[in-house]
Structure 1
Amino acid sequence: MLNSVFDGLDSAPLFAGIAVAVLVGWGAFRLFITSYRYIRATPLQRARMRHAWSISMRWRRLAPNLGLARIDENTKGRKDMQGKAVKPTVVVPRLKVFPEPWGIRAVVKTIPKVGIEEFEKAAGWLADAWDCETVEVNRLKAGLLELRGLVGNPLDDHFPYEVPAGDAWVLPLGRNPWARDLVIPLKDLSGIKVAGMPGFGKTMLMLGWLAGLAQRTAVQFAVFDGKTSDPRYGDWGQVGHRAMFIVGDNPETAHQRLTDLVRLIKDRPAQLVEERGTHKFWKDGPTDTIPLVLVLMDECHNYIDASGLRGKDKELIESNQRLMRTIAKEGRGLGVIPIVGTQKQTGDAIPTAVRDNLEVGVCFAVSTIDAAEAALGDGIRKDEDNQPTKLRDKDRFTGVCIVTGVPGLGGQFDRIRVGDIDEPAMLQLVANSVYLRRDVIPAPAPVLRDAGSAGVPLQKTEDQTTPKTTRRRKAS
Structure 2
Amino acid sequence: MSATDASGLAPLVALTALAVLVAWGAVRLFIATFRYILATPFQRIRMRHAWRIARRWRRLAPNIGLARVDENTKGRKDLQGKTAKPVTVVPKIKTFPEPWGVRVQLRTIPKVGLEEVEKAAGWLADAWNCETVEVKRLKAGLVELRGIVGNPLDDHQPYAWPDQDDWLLPLGHNPWMRQVGVPLRQLSGIKVAGLPGYGKTMLMLAWMASLSNRVAVQFAIFDGKTSDARYGDWGEVGSRAMFVVGDNPETANQRLTDLVRLLKDRPAALVEERGTHKFWKHGPTEANPLIVVFMDECHNYSDTKGLTGKDKQVVESNQRMMQTISKEGRGLGVLGIFGTQKQTGDAIPTSVRDNLEVGVCFPVFTIDAAEAALGSGIRDDEPNDPSALVDKDTNVGVCVVTGVPGLGGRYDRVRIGDLDEDQLPAWIANTAHLRRDVIPAPAPVVVDASTPAAEKAGASIPLQKKTTRRKTA
For the Cα contact (< 8 Å) 1:448–1:457, is it kept in 2? no
Letter paired with 1:414: D
Query: Percent of aligned pairs with the same residue?
Result: 71
Paired positions, count: 460
Task: Give the equivalent residue in structure 2 for 1:171.
Answer: 169
Pair 1:417–1:74, CA change in 2 (3 A):
same
The equivalences for 1:22-101 within 5 A come to 22-101=20-99
The equivalences for 1:27-426 within 5 A come to 27-426=25-424
Task: Give the equivalent residue in structure 2 for 1:472.
Answer: none
For the Cα contact (< 8 Å) 1:360–1:404, is it kept in 2? yes
Letter paired with 2:414: I
CA distance in 1, matches of 2:77, 2:100: 48
Structure 1 residues 61-88: Cα deviation after superposition (integer angstroms, max 9, x where no partner): 1111111111111111222232322211
| SS of structure 2 residue aligned to 1:374 | helix
Q: CA deviation at 1:204?
A: 0.3
CA distance in 1, matches of 2:271, 2:458: 29
Q: Does 1:456 find its partner at 2:456? A: yes
Pair 1:203–1:98, CA change in 2 (3 A):
same
Q: CA deviation at 1:457?
A: 8.1
| SS of structure 2 residue aligned to 1:327 | helix
CA distance in 2, matches of 1:392, 1:427: 28
Task: Give the equivalent residue in structure 1 for 2:428.
Answer: 430
| SS of structure 2 residue aligned to 1:221 | strand
Letter paired with 1:96: K
For the Cα contact (< 8 Å) 1:447–1:457, is it kept in 2? no
Pair 1:457–1:18, CA change in 2 (3 A):
farther
Q: CA deviation at 1:202?
A: 0.4
For the Cα contact (< 8 Å) 1:139–1:145, is it kept in 2? yes
Task: Point out the more displaced range, 448-457 or 348-357.
Answer: 448-457
What 5-or-longer segments of structure 2 have no aligned partner?
Answer: 463-473
| SS of structure 1 residue aligned to 2:219 | strand
CA distance in 2, matches of 1:439, 1:305: 29
Pair 1:160–1:23, CA change in 2 (3 A):
same
| SS of structure 2 residue aligned to 1:74 | helix
Q: CA deviation at 1:21?
A: 2.8
Pair 1:279–1:29, CA change in 2 (3 A):
same
Structure 1 residues 185-233: Cα deviation after superposition (integer angstroms, max 9, x where no partner): 1111111000000000000000000000000000000000000111111
Q: CA deviation at 1:114?
A: 1.2
CA distance in 1, matches of 2:232, 2:145: 46
CA distance in 1, matches of 2:336, 2:269: 21
CA distance in 2, matches of 1:270, 1:57: 67
| SS of structure 2 residue aligned to 1:349 | coil
For the Cα contact (< 8 Å) 1:449–1:458, is it kept in 2? no
CA distance in 2, matches of 1:238, 1:88: 74
Letter paired with 1:234: G
- TM-score of the pair, normalised by structure 2: 0.94
| SS of structure 2 residue aligned to 1:135 | strand
| SS of structure 1 residue aligned to 2:401 | strand
Structure 1 residues 113-163: Cα deviation after superposition (integer angstroms, max 9, x where no partner): 111111111110010001011111111111111111111111111111121
| SS of structure 2 residue aligned to 1:421 | coil
Letter paired with 2:456: V
Structure 1 residues 323-371: Cα deviation after superposition (integer angstroms, max 9, x where no partner): 1111111111110010000001111111111111111110001111111
| SS of structure 2 residue aligned to 1:406 | coil
Letter paired with 1:142: A
CA RMSD of aligned residues (A): 1.8
Identify the match of residue 445 of structure 1 among 440, 443, 446. Answer: 443
Task: Point out the more displaced range, 190-199 or 375-384.
Answer: 375-384
Letter paired with 2:427: L
For the Cα contact (< 8 Å) 1:136–1:147, is it kept in 2? yes
CA distance in 2, matches of 1:162, 1:98: 27
| SS of structure 2 residue aligned to 1:106 | strand
CA distance in 2, matches of 1:448, 1:458: 12
Pair 1:199–1:458, CA change in 2 (3 A):
closer
Structure 1 residues 396-435: Cα deviation after superposition (integer angstroms, max 9, x where no partner): 1110101111121101111111101112332232122110
Task: Give the equivalent residue in structure 1 for 2:471.
Answer: none
Pair 1:461–1:320, CA change in 2 (3 A):
closer
Letter paired with 1:27: G
CA distance in 1, matches of 2:156, 2:290: 31
CA distance in 2, matches of 1:174, 1:14: 60
Q: CA deviation at 1:107?
A: 0.9
| SS of structure 2 residue aligned to 1:204 | helix
Pair 1:94–1:387, CA change in 2 (3 A):
same
CA distance in 2, matches of 1:461, 1:203: 44
CA distance in 2, matches of 1:313, 1:391: 37
Structure 1 residues 164-191: Cα deviation after superposition (integer angstroms, max 9, x where no partner): 1131211111111112211111111111
